[in-house]
A and B are shown apart, each in its own frame.
Chain A
Amino acid sequence: MLYSLSSNRAGNVSLGVGIPPYIASWGGESLAYSEGDPYTQHGRSSVGVNRQQNREREAIIGASIVRPDAADKVRGEAKFVDDLSFAGMLYAKVIRSTVPHARITNLDFSRVCKHAGVVCIVTADDVPGENIVHVIYDDQPALADGIVRYIGEPIALLAAEDRRSAERAARLAIIDYKEIEAVFDPVAALKPGAPVVAVPKVVEQRPNLFNAMHIRKGDIEQGFAEADIIVEETYHTGYQEHAYLETQGAIAVPEENGAMVIYGTMQCPFYVQAAVAKVLDLPLSKVRVVQTTTGGAFGGKEDIPSVTSSLAALLAWKSRRPVKLILSREEDILTSSKRHPSIVHYKSGARSDGTLTAVEVDLVYNAGAYQTLSSAVLWRGVIHATGPYRIPHVKIDGRSVATNTVPCGAFRGFGSPQVIFAHESQLDRLADGLGIDRLEIRRINALKTGDRTATNQRLGKSTGVMETIKEAGKRIRWKDRLKSVNTFNEKSVYHRRGLGISTVMYGVGLGGKAPFLDKAGAYMKLEADGSLTIAVGNVEMGQGFTTVVTQIASEAMQIPMNRIHIAPIDSSRVPDSGPTVASRGTTMSGLAVINAAKKLRKRIAKVAGSLDITEEEISARLNEIAQAFWMRNLDPAVEGWAAGAPVSWNPETGLGDAYFVYSYATHIAEVDVDVTTGEVSVEDFVAIHDSGKIINRQLATGQIEGGIAQGLGFALMEEIKERNGELSVKGLTTYRIPTVRDVPSHAHVDFVEALYLKGPYGAKGLGEVPLMAAHAAISRAVAHAINTTITSYPLSPEQVKRNVALS
């Protein structure tokens, strides 16, 4: 009863039965459900509130409201970090390692210092605090201290009066190395006697093993004994680079009393605050972080801004002047974190009726030289390894391994796309072996409310995976389309068509790996003219967060959107609100805003009462009420808070409630493969998502369309080869991301909204899911077209031709 398939792409959505209790009653308690069981709260207090009010609310929540930040962006007036400058500002350049593993025997900066314009140089010896970039484990030095572990590792910094001098002077540095044997392959790195990359304090059990994680559910032997068919395969994926259009950058500005302010492009202001405080040995209160308009991130601006900001801050601290550090595209591609290359082995069993009995997985992720976010990435990979399917017997082992390569980190999907590639391929092979339709096998095994996941978590009401499969199949007209594809292939010689389906689940938020980060604050102030200033701690990076939060605030406060302003994100305005990752921004900050609104509305209702303003008149006469606040010296500001629903996950067994809720999607792609050239073109695409209530349809659709393009890039074209620790691409000339010519000609995007009643107005996360589903739908379609098992990405023309030859 909680599903409502929205069919009106333009805007307002018919909610049908199961309207969540986001009921605005001034002064009442039922504004949003932050306590108790919201569903019963709904039944108790919300039903019957007049329908007119419902319709007005729907005009905001679910509508395609134009994003307030778009005007500055189309005028070219949005201020990205490189567009800012400060009086006396210097320009930084990082001097980096040119070898993958070595002892530094000598640093000679005499010629650097003599170059015109150079103001200061910083090495590891100068660092006033701990020489560490704090992410999760403290193994990564801000500046190499005696040893370098990957090509591109920062060794020293310089600041000069202008950009050109900084770049030229940096080339004059002389660094002598004594090379150490290096290891680049994660399997080789785990063998006895392999060169030791990782700092001993951050490995488990043996050298270079950063993290090891396991899930054991049921009895895996019994599961395979019950199977009528078993398929086994090893899958490989390589690096994926974020290729956000705006490269990494930060400006550090020293302030009075020894404080430091950071302006930068980032996802996680509070990570940056902690990192800079550590490296400068400052209390957190003396580090203020301001996020500038951020030109795309996709996970790539989760960890790296802690590096760039720390480096800029070191130079600013030493020179006592503002310092700007902007990475060139080449520097960015070569030294920033990427998606972990993976080697993933699957063994999957099913009964003759298609029911899955057992899945055994071994995954190895190449983490690079330092831990950064690898433990969290691996964790998500392990938890998501079985997909949105009911499997009684599960055995999963995951390892992330240190090598002398660039550290890997967060990238949209966060360790899950690698296993999705594999689990969707395995499922198709089981279906083919059993003579069961590929869509049907997903329906047979899809998780439902009340089912248990691989970690034995019982799923709650917001489980719309089955509806995504059904709806996607309906939209593409699966059976008819299969027939037309087969007919095409019977007649065609040089082109082959294929249909691919992929179904995914995504644990929203940080879950059991980092429950202490699943929180968010909001600050809300009623100004004397009745307008509203709001500060939150999650960020806009293009995904539409600011718009969605404004919509939520508008709904919660019953104030028009144009009377609400979201202040620039500044770490001093709200408490640590965790990172803007894991598709958690809308859910967490949305709930914090609703919580703040609830408090402020209570006060407003009280003052309104004293002015004989009725409940219905409050919105229209808010300026009078606000003035009364001002005249009577009443406190017009409130703080809101949200904490993620508790999870109980046991790291020893890998069992428990891993995340508080999951989002789902099914994508179907139709491709055309030119068997002569190996080129793949995506001819048709359907994407059906369950992310609970969609707050802004235009933004959500846009995010999905972008995710499809990134997934297409991952599956078909984006490739970085690594040789002796050196990456094969140096810019966007050689790292090809999809252009307008590569994306599907048609993409049908829609939603089934399995409302998450503990989320803001029924919403749960969306951001990462589209990429996760898209790449697998496309690769499954290619496999279908050329009738082969595809075991590695990307499906470049060369690889497709190889696969054609093998099929």
Chain B
Amino acid sequence: MKIELIVNGKQQELDSAPGETLLHLLRRIGYKGVKKGCESGDCGACAVLLDDRVVNSCLVLAAKADGHRVTTVEGLAGQDKTGELHPVQEAFLEHGAVQCGYCSPGMIIAAVDLLAHNPNPSDQEIKEGISGNLCRCTGYVKQIEAIRIAAEKMRKSADV
């Protein structure tokens, strides 16, 4: 079947076989930043924004996304030549929140979603926000810290 998606701001008309998940479709058309960790909605590595809410793309049929906007980790940084990082990406990079990097795209998407809806989260709320994302390397300590720092930075730039 034919579906229409706006992926990272780019309108696309795509063929999708019945039963294909959004995860497989996105990876098939080149968005390899969307990671496949479990295909059962447990790990969150495949998280993307569907319109403005975070979803596990392995649990969403591609057909269900027809007509919607999808944001993957590749769509967070500036799309111009400078490619400036999103504050959450920048904080993950600078504050040691990345180790093997396999959970990073999904975790970053979840954090972006959290901060879009709650610009000043408590540590407890940060934990809630990324509780659907598994990480086996970091123990989550530096990820919580990075999200806290990103939130602060985003609030400051919003005030300006």
Contact = CB atoms under 8 A, between A and B. Distances in A.
Given A83-B32, A329-B39, A731-B38, A74 B92 contact: yes
Nearest to B98: A70
Nearest to B105: A76
B70 to A, nearest CB: 13
Interface in B9-25: none
B137 A706 contact: yes
B131 A544 contact: no
Contacts of B36: 82
Contact of A295 (B101, B108, B131, B140): B101
Query: Among the interface residues B38, B100, B127, which one has the most CB atoms of the partner chain A within 10 A?
Result: B100
B18 to A, nearest CB: 11
A207 interface: no
Interface stretch (B40-48, B61-69, B152-160): B40-48
Contact of B130 (A329, A733, A740): A740
9 pairs of A and B residues whose beta carbons are closest in the complex: A76-B33, A542-B100, A73-B101, A295-B102, A705-B139, A76-B73, A709-B139, A732-B42, A542-B99
Contacts of B92: 70, 74
A491 B136 CA distance: 37
A265 to B, nearest CB: 9
B136 A244 contact: yes
A67 to B, nearest CB: 7
Contact of A706 (B37, B73, B136): B136
B72 interface: yes
Nearest to A735: B42
10 contacts: A67-B96, A75-B74, A75-B77, A75-B85, A76-B105, A244-B136, A295-B102, A329-B38, A731-B42, A732-B42
Contact of A74 (B85, B102, B141): B85
Nearest to B95: A698
A705 B141 contact: yes
A747 B141 contact: yes
Contacts of B52: none
Interface of A: 64, 66-67, 69-80, 82-83, 242-247, 293-298, 328-329, 541-544, 698-699, 701-703, 705-710, 731-733, 737-741, 743, 747
B104 interface: yes
Given A73-B104, A75-B89, A542 B139 contact: no
Nearest to B100: A542
A14 B127 CA distance: 35
Given A699-B96, A705-B139, A732 B102 contact: no
A667 to B, nearest CB: 13
B75 to A, nearest CB: 9
Contacts of A543: 99, 137
A294 B100 CA distance: 6
B42 A733 contact: yes
Contacts of A70: 92-93, 98, 101
B105 to A, nearest CB: 5
B94 interface: yes
A66 to B, nearest CB: 6
A805 to B, nearest CB: 31
A164 to B, nearest CB: 8
Contact of A296 (B31, B83, B136, B143): B136
Nearest to B83: A75
Nearest to B103: A245
A705 B130 contact: no
B34 interface: yes
Given A73-B101, A296-B136, A544-B99, A702 B131 contact: no
Contacts of A80: 35, 102
Contact of B99 (A83, A702, A741): A702
Contact of B100 (A244, A705, A707, A731): A244
Nearest to B129: A740
B3 to A, nearest CB: 18
B151 interface: no
B135 interface: yes
B38 A743 contact: no
Contacts of B134: 243, 245, 732, 737, 739
B139 A245 contact: no
B144 interface: yes
Nearest to A71: B93
B108 to A, nearest CB: 6
Contacts of A701: 96
Contacts of B138: 702, 705-706, 709
Contacts of B94: 66
Contacts of B43: 245, 732
A549 to B, nearest CB: 16
A29 B43 CA distance: 51
A73 B135 CA distance: 14
Residue from the set A70, A296, A297, A298 with the largest chain B CB neighbour count within 10 Å: A70
A168 to B, nearest CB: 12
B112 to A, nearest CB: 11
Given A298-B136, A740-B131, A702 B93 contact: no
A71 B94 CA distance: 9
A57 B38 CA distance: 44
Contacts of B133: 740
Nearest to B32: A83
Q: Which of A79, A739, A740 has the most CB of B within 10 A?
A: A740
B142 interface: yes
Interface in B76-123: 77, 83, 85, 89-90, 92-96, 98-105, 108
Contacts of B136: 242-245, 296, 298, 706, 709-710, 737
A662 to B, nearest CB: 24
Contact of B37 (A293, A329, A544): A329
B137 A743 contact: no
B141 A245 contact: no
Given A245-B43, A733-B40, A67 B141 contact: no
Contacts of B135: 245, 706, 740
A162 to B, nearest CB: 10
Given A243-B136, A246-B35, A739-B131, A296 B100 contact: yes
B100 A329 contact: no
Contacts of B83: 75
Nearest to A543: B99
A698 B99 contact: no
A72 B102 CA distance: 11
Contact of B40 (A76, A542, A705, A732): A732
The CB with the most chain A CB atoms within 10 A, among B31, B92, B136, B143, is that of B136
B49 to A, nearest CB: 13
A467 B140 CA distance: 28
Contacts of A739: 131, 134, 140
Most chain A beta-carbon neighbours within 10 Å: one of B73, B83, B102, B127: B102
Nearest to B146: A74
A103 B50 CA distance: 51
A688 B100 CA distance: 24
Contacts of B142: 698, 702, 705
Contacts of A731: 38, 40, 42
B48 to A, nearest CB: 10
Contacts of A77: 33, 74
A245 B136 CA distance: 7
Contact of A740 (B38, B101, B140): B140
Given A298-B136, A699-B96, A741-B131, A75 B101 contact: no
A295 B138 CA distance: 12
A64 B42 CA distance: 32
B33 A709 contact: no
A740 B144 contact: yes
Contacts of B35: 80, 245-246, 295
Contacts of B31: 76
Nearest to B17: A164
Contacts of A733: 38, 40, 42
Nearest to A69: B101
Nearest to A329: B38
Contact of B93 (A74, A297, A329, A710): A74
